[in-house]
Chains A and B, each alone.
Chain A
Amino acid sequence: MARRVTVTQKLGFTALAWGVGMLLFFPILWTVLTSFKTEAEAVASPPSFLFFDWTLENYTEVQHRSNYVRHFLNSVVISLGSTVIGLIIAVPAAWAMAFQPAKRTKDLLMWMLSTKMMPPVGVLVPIYLIFRDLELLDTRLGLTVVLTLIDLPIIVWMLYTYFKEIPGEILEAARMDGAGLWAEIVHVLTPMAVPGIASTLLLNVILAWNEAFWTLNLTAAKAAPLTAFIASYSSPEGLFYAKLSAASTMAIAPILILGWFSQKQLVRGLTFGAVK
């Protein structure tokens, strides 16, 4: 009897998981479907789900009008650059906080996190002025720096959580064997924390890829990433949903594929500790 209940439960949970999954995935699916419709069909009510005249004209139009490759390369450079620089700064920082905590470490961590609570628009003008004077406006370097600073608290926090689960004794043992600080971090700690570092890296690439306030406000033509590419297809006067959907599909496809392939890594890093 107990066996049957389990099967029913299993079925129930599977159905629930599929339901939730589909619910989360539906907006993306709808965007992709809309990108193959004409503008008139995209706003038709009731909307047609699959039975419409499939067309590639939106993709042709978007290809024709925008330099997708340039936006794409900007997105790659900015998101990877900011994450890698962030990690280089954050690994030693998280090491210090996890293994050499001082009296105020907890407060320091909270303070770092609190910077994420400020609405970014509050510092737009000062940052804009600094960027203008340093000639960083509309440059990939400028955006990489800003995104590094923005994501740093999250990177430090994530790494701190992973490092906390690594027994300090292992590092002590390394020290006893004569490892210096550098060797300890690079050869002992980092290899053990690879799943954690990998998922931090992936998550932050995704966050930086999707960041749409600074990337829109600090760029013009040269350094504009895919967020600006999407924003260019919204129109105050004229229908635009189909073309906007095509642009969105093209913008999210690379990160979606990356997420797909690294799914296992991402989930493992987010749910398990470093040494389990």
Chain B
Amino acid sequence: MTLRSVLLGMSSLFVLVSAAGAETLTVATVNNGDMVRMQKLTGDFTARYPDIKVEWVTLEENVLRQKVTTDIATKGGQFDVLTIGTYEVPIWAKQGWLVALDKLGAGYDVDDLLPAIRSGLSADGKLYAAPFYGESSMVMYRTDLFAKAGLTMPAAPTWDFVAEAARKITDKPGEVYGICLRGKAGWGENMAFLTATSNSFGARWFDEKWQPQFGSAEWKTTLDFYVKLMKDAGPPGASSNGFNENLALFQSGKCGMWIDATVAASFVSNPKESKVADKVGYALAPDTGLGKRGNWLWAWSLAVPAGSKKTEAAQKFIAWATSKDYLALVASKEGWANVPPGTRASLYANPEYQKAAPFAKMTLDSINSADPTRPTVKPVPYVGVQFVAIPEFQGLGTAVGQQFSAALAGQKSVDDALKAAQDLAVREMTKAGYIK
């Protein structure tokens, strides 16, 4: 009896709510801290637009990508706002899958968006996605371990310095490893790091005619350097470490250095989560003096799929979530250190933010120094720093990532891994018609 009345009550409530006639936006997103915060603050948006309701679909990144791709390619229209990255935006915009964001409103101040991020989300001069938070990569290091070893981290280190420092700090019996780097296979895991790193060593995925370049001396130097460094100064089992595994290692005090997403700075400097919160310093991603640094560029962004029937309401939501007002709203509720970083120049000019986020300057410098349109030392036909913005890259990047992960694990030699990567790339690019 009671259960039945509860069920009846709930279903009638549900019917009542859905019958209220409000336009409902379905927002697909990933479960990152900044997105969770946005979800919690939805009340502010619905208070401004009482006739719009928001439903959230939060999913694991790869599930979301697969599902959203299916929906968008078939014009299923299940979603009105998508959370996607800088990899998808240029490809999907070219396919006509995204709605150009031209109704963000007068007060939106699109010129305040950081130029590197904005150019990564535009095609033919039109903005196809608005950045929710942006990130590059940088070096996070333990100031106490560096002081103990008598080392000083320069603001813009070289790979040689980083390698030397990592070997010096390593104390394997004490479970302190000089450097923690990604090793888990995946185009967005180890290949994000290795592709960005290879840029600083002068390597490139393809030459101007789309010929794969894994046979080049530059790739050999990159992979040799990485595998040897990780063998000498990396944690055990590094070939299965991704962002989260390294985060856990760094937070528990087991890494001397960690080169990864700038967004990690707010985690490692948070005393609630991190044992080393007050001992973290930041530096630009390393280089080898060739003019490119090993830092990437990524922006989790909000876009409207072409299948949506509520494009106007969707753009209102996007304008709200990526506005200056939203940053101020988060600051007022959760403090400036928790504001989504890396999207607006005005945030970095804000003295309160600079005070609350010691990593602000390094984040901005890292983002500004990444150029997705000219990512490598030698010219390339593609856009993207740590990825190649072609549809084939997801599959190919992961396949190559598996080879490199195997090399790190010692199951393959560097030469064998590179040869296998070259064969894979040639086969895939021939199949896709880029080369004959």
Contact = CB atoms under 8 A, between A and B. Distances in A.
Contact of A40 (B26, B244, B251): B251
Given A235-B244, A236-B188, A216 B59 contact: yes
Nearest to B64: A231
Contacts of A124: 70
Contact of A234 (B28, B31, B66): B31
15 contacts: A65-B40, A73-B10, A125-B70, A137-B78, A138-B78, A216-B67, A220-B26, A221-B55, A228-B57, A232-B59, A234-B31, A235-B32, A236-B30, A236-B188, A240-B244
Nearest to A217: B67
B273 A40 contact: yes
B79 interface: yes
Nearest to B80: A220
Interface of B: 7, 10, 26, 28, 30-33, 36, 39-40, 55-61, 63, 66-67, 70-71, 73-79, 188, 243-244, 247-248, 251-252, 261, 263-264, 267, 273
A86 to B, nearest CB: 24
Contacts of B252: 40, 43-45
B31 A220 contact: no
B52 to A, nearest CB: 14
A224 B56 CA distance: 11
A238 B244 contact: yes
Nearest to B243: A237
- A-B complex: 4 closest residue pairs judged by Cβ atoms: A232-B58, A221-B55, A43-B248, A234-B60
Contacts of A224: 57
Given A132-B76, A220-B79, A234-B31, 14 more contacts: A40-B273, A43-B252, A45-B252, A128-B70, A132-B75, A216-B59, A217-B66, A220-B55, A220-B57, A235-B60, A237-B32, A237-B244, A237-B261, A239-B248
Interface residues of A, number: 33
A47 to B, nearest CB: 11
Contacts of A73: 7, 10
Interface string A81-109: 00000000000000000000000000000
A224 B79 CA distance: 14
Contacts of A68: none
A176 B75 CA distance: 59
A129 B10 CA distance: 32
A151 interface: no
A220 B78 contact: yes
A239 B28 contact: no
A238 B32 contact: yes
Contacts of A131: 76
Nearest to B40: A65
Nearest to B248: A43
B74 A236 contact: no
A231 B60 contact: yes
A39 interface: yes
B394 to A, nearest CB: 14
Interface string A188-202: 000000000000000
Contacts of B73: 125
Interface string A217-230: 10011101000100
Contacts of A235: 30-33, 60, 244
A238 B267 contact: yes
Interface string A132-143: 100001100000
A56 interface: no
A264 B66 CA distance: 40
A239 B33 CA distance: 9
Contacts of A237: 32-33, 243-244, 261, 263-264
